[in-house]
A and B are shown apart, each in its own frame.
Chain A
Amino acid sequence: MTTRDILRRARRSLAQAKVRTILTSLAIAVGAFTVTLALAAGEGGRQYTEEMVKTSGDAGSLNVYPKRIEPKNDKLTEYGTAENSPSQRNTLSESDVAKIKKIDGVANVQPIYDIQPRYVTRGDGYKKYVAAVNVKIHRTEMKLSAGSLDDNRIPIGGISVSEELLSSFGFSNATSAIGQKIIINFPKLTASGESTEESFNKTFKIAAVDHGTDATLYYQPSLNISVDDGKEVYDYQMSGSSSDKYDGVVVELKDGVDVKNAKETIAGQNYEVYSLQDIRETLLQMVNIAQWGMVAFGALAILASIFGIINTQYISVLERTQQIGLMKALGARKKDIARLFRYEAAWVGFLGGVAGTVLALLVGFANPLIAKTLGLEKGVELLVFQPLTSLILIIVMMTIAISAGYFPSRKAAKLDPIEALRTE
């Protein structure tokens, strides 16, 4: 018999036992539904995590700080011993920058400029405000309400302003703020870091208006200026003291360099190294654990459905003893009979797989509701379905169903036609 003929007969047999077919398929559908949702939630979780990491910092760069002096064998290190000279080790110097620059895979070493504005204003006749001004060193993604940034960097002479701050400055909307000027007053600092009367005003042009997202790990409404402007301000503020003392540096790695390896290399040179990559991996691991936990529940449902298929198929073989006997008497081969029942099982698996997937996709329409309930930003999708995954899942369901149909189909194939056709 040809595959086509057997498939047609298998489909017809199932159509004749509609209720039974639907019920058996539903058991598989529950499993397929759970697994599809778990995979979708896992994918959504991973994408959300990546988004979170991307807007919270640059996972391809490392933050390097002076080595902390940690207790050794549970004992604190005594001050002033040869092992440390705290005054030097609390900050990084230009020689540290040069040293790190030489390490393999390092593209750029950017000192972190900690600048301290006195006030921020739009100019004469406007109020002066106290606001946080940061130097944007990382290529951390900024979510922009207006304006544009090249490679997520602030242009020289430009500044980004958080949307939340616009009203204070008297801007009615984000677009109208672009191109407007912002003046920041920076005082000169003493060696101990206190402000002096001496100060200078620097004028910036608003290049972008940004806003935080719920995905950002830590978002503080602030103003951001470029690295070059930051250096100028930092040098001015620190001119009273040694200006090559940095709290830390940001190390940008060359493309394709393994962040983990680079981190270990730099840490090996006696520095404290932090990378967003670590947080990213931890978060992804959590998402994956949650996903596979859910998949395991789905697998249990599928396992239970296997017994349903076996049971149904056995009943079907009993019911159709006469049909099987007739087919064998007419010369049907054992393998044809076995295939007939296996294809029926495959149909059941297919129907269950498709039903489960479609149901799960329908749940996907609840994405906005889920985001709203969890207090996430509009448009965030926590259930992300992938067509290929669904396709593979349906094929897996069919394979499982066929395996479940193995014993019943073997029983059918082995049926003695004389017994089967005995007239009762």
Chain B
Amino acid sequence: MIEVKNVTKTYGKKNNAFVALDNVSFTIPDGASVAILGKSGSGKSTLMHAISGLDKPEKGEIIIDGKNILALNQKAIDKFRSRTISFIFQSFFVQANESCYDNVSLPLEISGTAVNRRKKRIEDALTAVELLDKKKSRARDLSGGQKQRLAVARAIVGNPRILFADEPTGNLDSATGQVVEDLLFGYNKDNDVTLIVVTHDPDLAKRCDIQIHIKDGKIESIEGNE
């Protein structure tokens, strides 16, 4: 369960101060799929960064599995990021010069997974996104949809409990976007992994269990499909 309690994040100082998140509170149950919706500049990315421990709001608590991650030291946060969560980005951020295999290997290297246990997990992840045959190809030779599928493989190889997707289909046409969406929701349902999607695409948001609408740093509404 993810509990966000009274989180406030301000950028800049005094007169130039800009409140990106203003006293935000909500709860996400385990295994849910959540869409964070809002226009650009609404604070949705800041919210994602806060929940993933990349950013530190000055007020509030973010409690994941009973621990307030805002109170953790850097080492514990790094560990939390490498063991518990994972990311998918709009611009993929796959390493163009590396092979698909090495791209997927990165999170395992960071989390310190033993070398002899990596191969199977990497191949399983590549199989899940149907890229096993491209294992030795360089990422730069892949199409946009393939790159995002590679990013999905990289995101799931470490068996995360929470998966963040920042506009995962923003750079894809609707057909390939559909494939990536199916992958994400499939993984969410099959593995009981919490999926948090940041998007301004209403169609993508509708597929999620919960939609959190953000406007000017405040929660406008929270809708549930159930």
Contact = CB atoms under 8 A, between A and B. Distances in A.
B86 to A, nearest CB: 7
A421 B87 CA distance: 11
Interface string B80-108: 11110011011101010110001000110
Given A16-B97, A322-B93, A323-B95, A330 B54 contact: no
Contact of B74 (A5, A330, A334, A418): A334
Contacts of A336: 110
A318 interface: no
Interface residues of chain B: helix, strand, loop or mixed (majority) = helix
B83 A421 contact: no
A23 to B, nearest CB: 19
A326 B82 CA distance: 11
Contact of A330 (B49, B75, B86, B115): B86
A266 to B, nearest CB: 72
A331 B79 contact: yes
B192 to A, nearest CB: 22
Contacts of A369: none
Contacts of B107: 330-331
A334 B83 CA distance: 17
B111 interface: yes
Chain A contact patch, size range: 20 to 34
A423 B112 contact: no
A330 B87 contact: yes
A327 B110 contact: yes
B90 A1 contact: no
B109 A333 contact: no
Listed residue (A1, A329, A333, A418) with the most chain B CB atoms within 10 angstroms of its CB? A329
A2 interface: yes
A333 B91 contact: no
B106 A330 contact: yes
A5 B98 CA distance: 14
A16 B82 CA distance: 26
9 contacts: A2-B109, A16-B97, A330-B82, A330-B87, A330-B107, A331-B79, A331-B111, A336-B110, A421-B93
Given A1-B110, A326-B93, 13 more contacts: A1-B112, A12-B102, A325-B93, A330-B107, A331-B78, A331-B80, A331-B83, A331-B111, A333-B75, A421-B89, A421-B93, A423-B89, A423-B90
